[in-house]
């Protein structure tokens, strides 16, 4: 009993890597059977496969493990409750044992009928009597944990000598030098190439060429055989998705046959809708790789008019900002209660692999999405993308309105309406005026009234209350949507679209294969077999970066863009800078976002010939609300003001500093107070080797209309600002540091790796409801407090501070942002110099100043 108490009290270990081995685990020694000392450890039961893959990848002795024995207790079976009760017992043994087929080796009596094969197969030649094995137990007391008992961790035979691998001299020149079978990566590559139609002979020819280049086989993957590839090709060719005439029964059989590809399944019932969530192991790895500290986007309506049930895709973005689906969810409806279940299951699955995984932002495309559930589960900001409504309206306008001039007018009006709603200058009634003014175009207006007008109120509310995703993200989602149209909707028999078993099989095989090959660097070796489904390339936003500024001519309400392939061809972009710009190229006429529109929009904002983007406007409003809110602790306000100045200086590093006095007045009028700095406070801005010290008149902390361009240094946040983050009495979710909320790869030197190029830290409009007391505070007192250090608070003050922190936590997840680019030469430094304390009005001087950074931190 004491032994099991010791085992159950061991910590559960889950190394933060996709695969881990025995060397990554801290083992404990306990008394085992027959007075032996066992090496034991506890890991999550869901990570047993990760442990096996890690052990198989041992560099000193590469191998594999197979299940030698297994016992499983049914969950419904009656059993006696005891501390050492086992739900599941699995014995894993090295694939080179336990039998020994070498000359003079020992073979167990139950295996003495073994006849050596005359032809070599895709597995190791013979068993070699390896004694390495371990036991996995799933205990009744803790069913979510696996108890690993490592009885023998050395790859030796019964005589104690190495029996395979590089340490076995007799294994040289045989398959026993390498691990058995091929790796999961090579297996996935072979399957993907076969699914997309590459012949077996071509696969083997490319493989043999690569082995010859490196001078012979060096690992198990170099031993790939023609026989194995041919067998896989036959299995794929003979497979049929229709496992049963009944679609529901066929789908349940598919789920039972592919447990590793399904993270959530809910069968048909009278009370609950059917839901199946698909995520392969490779998709889970991409979610961990690109989703951690990054963005996750939702495409919730693919195939609505084609399939029996629509496909809900969850997307992450790679280094090129191209969308990668990390999960597909198929269901007849996506209500809040139903979505909460599979979102929770997906989050739990990724946390099982990486407990430190955290999302920076979740982008939705449906205003009816349960944002509260997303915030509760992922604990991140929620943004909204207008790609779906823009794509649908643009496509309908090009299809139902034949007059070019009328198209331009309607698109211009739609852009104005969306802009006024997002900036809070209008409401849903603006669409009523739109329909009245363009009644002559009856076909498009009838479509708008029938399809979009009933739900336009939900869109208006979401656009006013949620931060807006950038145009670059819309381009990435659109590119993925086009890929899905080509790769999924290519069946000759359209009746298959009405079966769910066909859809899940199509997504998990062919579509998944194309996605894997998109990320494979060796895909160009098979370029001769590329078809339309291989749709490869960059998004329209990334292609727009290749267009030089000299090839764009702005002329009032139009812009001309020179074609990059044919310099004599010119494209005309109407309503430049608008969210609903129209181009006369074939891509735009099909309803998509073309590279010419993206380039013109970027250039217009660069030259300030159009209003800033809606994302940038919401970002400025978030900064204004941050300045208006006066927390109890002056250090919090000090940090907020410093953050505003820090971001403004980075984003406007290349702007003219002489215009700062004129621009700051506009924000001060909106904020409701005037901020002034003492002459002793200086902002040292180091840029290109120069230092600029702002005077009292120009040392305002924010400039409204000039934060469109600049640079940022990812590492110069707290250190360069000389603020100790541990001294700020607020939770991280309440006041985000830039390195805590930015997506992965969003900060780069050239500014090409950001998805929210204009959304630089945004909050919901209702974030100011907890900050109404700011109007009752004297501005001078506010500024005086922001430049001072508090004496250590009493217990009552600390309690009040904790209440304020709770309020910040409520609105903290409404902040998200990204910065366009980084400039290593731009550094912002805050120097707080000594200043004589003075009394302001009825507020006595209760605080004293510090003269340098060391004294400040010592005070805190």
Query: Distance between CA atoms of 845 and 847, rounded to whole angstroms?
Result: 6
Helix, strand, coil percentages in the chain from 3-state DSSP, rounded to 5: 45, 15, 40
State the pLDDT confidence band at 544, using cuts at 50, 70 and 90: very high
Q: Which of 417, 424, 358 is nearest to 386 (CA)?
A: 417
Token digits of residue 214 = 């490196």
Domain boundaries along the sequence of the chain: 2-177, 184-238, 247-385+470-514, 388-465, 538-606, 614-859
Token digits of residue 178 = 């390498």
**What is the chain's mean pLDDT, rounded?**
74
582, 408 contact by CB (below 8 A): yes
Q: Which of 32, 21, 88, 92 is nearest to 60 (CA)?
A: 21
The H-assigned helical ranges of 43-180 are: 48-56
Q: Within 13 Å and on the Cβ side, how many CA atoms surround 836?
A: 2
Query: Distance between CA atoms of 578 and 728, rounded to whole angstroms?
Result: 41
By percentage, how much of the chain surpasses pLDDT 70? 69
107-150 pLDDT tens trace:
776 655 556 555 544 344 568 889 999 999 998 888 889 999 99
Q: What is the DSSP letter of 843?
A: B
Token digits of residue 26 = 């801290």
Query: Distance between CA atoms of 176 and 530, rounded to whole angstroms?
Result: 38
Burial grade of 199 (CB within 10 A; 0-12, 13-18, 19 or more): middle
Give me the pLDDT at residue 758, please.
41
Report, as an integer, the average pLDDT of 391-405.
89
538, 476 contact by CB (below 8 A): no
Give me the pLDDT at residue 611, please.
66
**Among the listed ranges 443-457, 635-649, 664-678, 694-708, which one has the minimum average pLDDT value?**
694-708
Give me the pLDDT at residue 477, please.
94
Q: What is the DSSP letter of 771?
A: G
Query: Distance between CA atoms of 581 and 393, rounded to whole angstroms?
Result: 12
357-367 pLDDT tens trace:
999 999 999 99
| 3-state SS track over 659-706 | HHHHHHHHHHHHHCCCCCCCCCCEEEEEECCEEEECCCCCCCCCCCCC
Q: Which of 321, 314, 326 is nearest to 362 (CA)?
A: 314
Q: Which of 133, 232, 147 is nearest to 181 (CA)?
A: 232
Angle at 660 between CA 656 and CA 663, to 5 degrees: 120
**3-state DSSP assignment of residue 199:** coil
Enumerate the β-bridge partners of residue 28: 40
State the pLDDT confidence band at 283, using cuts at 50, 70 and 90: very high
| 3-state SS track over 597-616 | HHHHHHHHHHCCCCCCCHHH
Give me the pLDDT at residue 145, please.
92
232-277 pLDDT tens trace:
999 999 998 898 999 999 999 999 999 999 999 998 877 788 899 9
Query: Distance between CA atoms of 678 and 787, rounded to whole angstroms?
Result: 10
pTM: 0.70
Give me the pLDDT at residue 358, please.
93
Give, for 636, the enclosing helix (H) or strand (E): helix 634-651
- Residue for token pair 């946040």: 717
698-737 pLDDT tens trace:
333 333 333 333 333 334 333 333 333 333 333 333 333 3
- Whether residue 77 has pLDDT greater than 80: no
543, 595 contact by CB (below 8 A): yes
> Higher-confidence residue: 641 or 790?
641
464-497 pLDDT tens trace:
889 889 889 999 999 999 999 999 988 888 889 9
Query: Distance between CA atoms of 661 and 677, rounded to whole angstroms?
Result: 13
Give me the pLDDT at residue 80, please.
60
Query: Distance between CA atoms of 359 and 290, rounded to whole angstroms?
Result: 10
Widest distance between CA atoms in the chain: 100
Give me the pLDDT at residue 605, please.
82
**3-state DSSP assignment of residue 549:** helix
Strand pairing category for 323-330 and 311-317: antiparallel
Q: Which of 572, 567, 566 is nearest to 585 (CA)?
A: 572
> Higher-confidence residue: 839 or 179?
179
Give me the pLDDT at residue 228, please.
92
Give, for 202, the enclosing helix (H) or strand (E): helix 200-213
Q: Which of 106, 67, 72 is nearest to 88 (CA)?
A: 72
Token digits of residue 692 = 């600029």
Token digits of residue 672 = 């409701």
- Whether residue 766 has pLDDT greater than 90: no
**3-state DSSP assignment of residue 610:** coil
Query: Distance between CA atoms of 459 and 310, rounded to whole angstroms?
Result: 21
Report, as an integer, the average pLDDT of 503-509.
94
> Higher-confidence residue: 487 or 685?
487
Enumerate the β-bridge partners of residue 302: 311
Number of neighbouring beta carbons within 10 Å of residue 153: 15
**DSSP track, 349-391:** HHHHH-TT---SEEEES-TTS-HHHHHHHH-SEEEE--HHHHH
Give me the pLDDT at residue 617, please.
72
Report, as an integer, the average pLDDT of 375-386.
92
Token digits of residue 157 = 């035979």
Number of neighbouring beta carbons within 10 Å of residue 289: 16
Q: What is the DSSP letter of 791?
A: P
Query: Distance between CA atoms of 321 and 312, rounded to whole angstroms?
Result: 20
Query: Distance between CA atoms of 636 and 793, rounded to whole angstroms?
Result: 14
Give, for 406, the enclosing helix (H) or strand (E): helix 404-422
**For helices 614-628 and 404-422, what crossing angle results, to 10°?**
10
218: alpha, beta or left, given left = phi > 0 and alpha = psi -120 to 50? alpha
255, 308 contact by CB (below 8 A): no
State the pLDDT confidence band at 571, using cuts at 50, 70 and 90: very high
Give me the phi and psi of 807, to 5 degrees please: -65, -40
- Residue for token pair 């043994």: 93
């Amino acid at each position: 009993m004491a032994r099991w108490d010791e085992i159950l009290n061991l910590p559960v270990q889950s190394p933060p890597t996709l695969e881990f081995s025995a060397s990554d685990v801290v083992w404990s020694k306990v008394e085992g059977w027959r007075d032996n000392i066992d090496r034991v450890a506890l890991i999550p039961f869901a990570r047993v496969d990760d442990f096996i893959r890690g052990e198989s990848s041992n560099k000193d002795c590469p191998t594999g493990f197979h299940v030698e024995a297994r016992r499983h207790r049914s969950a419904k079976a009656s059993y006696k409750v005891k501390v050492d009760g086992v739900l599941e017992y699995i014995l894993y043994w090295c694939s080179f044992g336990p039998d020994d087929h070498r000359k003079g080796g020992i073979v167990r009596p139950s295996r003495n009928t073994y006849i050596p094969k005359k032809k070599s197969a895709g597995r190791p030649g013979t068993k070699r009597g390896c004694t390495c094995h371990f036991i996995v137990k799933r205990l009744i007391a803790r069913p979510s944990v696996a108890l690993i008992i490592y009885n023998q961790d050395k790859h030796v035979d019964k005589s104690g000598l190495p029996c395979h691998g590089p340490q076995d001299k007799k294994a040289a020149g045989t398959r026993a030098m390498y691990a058995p079978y091929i790796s999961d990566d090579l297996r996935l590559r072979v399957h993907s190439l076969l699914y997309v139609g590459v012949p077996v002979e071509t696969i083997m020819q490319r493989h043999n060429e690569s082995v010859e280049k490196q001078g012979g086989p060096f690992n198990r993957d170099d031993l790939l055989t023609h026989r194995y590839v041919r067998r896989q090709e036959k299995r794929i060719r003979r497979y049929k998705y229709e496992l049963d005439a009944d679609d529901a029964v066929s789908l349940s059989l598919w789920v039972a046959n592919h447990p590793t590809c399904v993270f959530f399944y809910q069968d048909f019932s009278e009370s609950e809708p059917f839901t199946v969530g698909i995520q392969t192991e490779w998709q889970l790895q991409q979610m961990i790789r690109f989703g951690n500290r990054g963005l996750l986007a939702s495409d919730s309506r693919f195939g609505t008019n084609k399939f029996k049930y629509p496909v809900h895709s969850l997307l992450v973005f790679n280094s090129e900002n191209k969308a990668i689906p990390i999960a597909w969810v198929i269901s007849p409806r996506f209500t809040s209660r139903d979505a909460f279940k599979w979102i929770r299951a997906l989050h739990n699955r990724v946390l099982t692999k990486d407990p430190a995984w955290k999302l920076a932002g979740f982008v939705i495309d449906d205003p009816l999405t349960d944002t509260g559930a997303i915030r509760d589960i992922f604990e991140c900001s929620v943004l909204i993308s207008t790609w779906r409504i823009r794509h649908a309206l643009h496509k309908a306008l090009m299809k139902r309105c034949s007059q070019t001039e009328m198209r331009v007018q309607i698109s211009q009006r739609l852009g104005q309406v969306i802009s006024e709603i997002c900036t809070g200058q209008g409401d849903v009634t603006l669409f009523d005026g739109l329909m009245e003014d363009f009644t002559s175009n009856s076909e498009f207006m009838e479509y708008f009234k029938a399809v979009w007008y009933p739900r336009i109120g939900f869109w208006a509310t979401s656009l006013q209350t949620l931060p807006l995703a950038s145009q670059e993200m819309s381009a990435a989602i659109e590119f993925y949507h086009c890929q899905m149209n080509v790769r999924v909707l290519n069946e000759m028999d359209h009746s298959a679209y009405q079966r769910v078993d066909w859809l899940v099989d199509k997504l998990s095989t062919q579509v998944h294969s194309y996605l894997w090959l998109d990320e494979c660097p060796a895909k160009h070796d098979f370029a001769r077999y590329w078809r339309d489904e291989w749709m490869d390339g960059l998004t329209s936003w990334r292609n727009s970066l290749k267009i030089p500024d000299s090839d764009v001519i702005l002329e009032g309400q139009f812009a001309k863009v020179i074609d990059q392939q044919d310099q004599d061809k010119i494209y005309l972009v109407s309503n430049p800078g608008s969210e609903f710009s129209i181009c006369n190229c074939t891509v735009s006429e099909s309803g998509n976002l073309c590279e010419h529109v993206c380039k013109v929009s970027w250039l217009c904002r660069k030259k300030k010939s159009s209003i800033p983007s809606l994302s940038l406007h919401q970002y400025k409003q978030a900064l204004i609300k941050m300045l208006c809110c006066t927390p109890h602790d002056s250090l919090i306000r000090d940090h907020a003001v410093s953050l505003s100045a820090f971001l403004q200086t980075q984003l406007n590093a290349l702007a003219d500093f002489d215009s700062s006095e004129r621009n700051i007045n506009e924000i001060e009028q909106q904020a409701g107070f005037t901020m002034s700095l003492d002459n002793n406070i200086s902002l040292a801005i180091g840029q290109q080797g120069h230092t600029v010290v702002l005077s009292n008149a120009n040392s305002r902390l924010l400039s409204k209309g000039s934060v469109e361009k600049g640079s940022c240094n990812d590492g110069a946040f707290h250190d360069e600002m000389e603020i100790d983050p541990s001294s700020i009495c607020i939770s991280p979710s309440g006041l985000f540091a830039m390195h805590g909320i930015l997506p992965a790869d969003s900060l780069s030197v050239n500014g090409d790796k950001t998805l929210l190029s204009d959304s630089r830290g945004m909050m919901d409009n209702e974030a100011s409801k907890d900050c109404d007391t700011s109007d009752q505070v004297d501005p001078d007192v506010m500024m005086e407090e922001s430049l001072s250090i508090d004496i250590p608070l009493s217990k009552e003050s600390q309690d009040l501070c904790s209440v304020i922190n709770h309020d910040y936590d409520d609105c903290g997840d409404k902040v998200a942002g990204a910065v366009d680019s980084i400039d290593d030469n731009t550094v912002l430094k805050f120097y707080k110099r000594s200043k004589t304390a003075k009394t302001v009005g009825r507020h006595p001087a209760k605080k004293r100043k510090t003269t340098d950074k060391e004294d400040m931190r010592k005070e805190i």
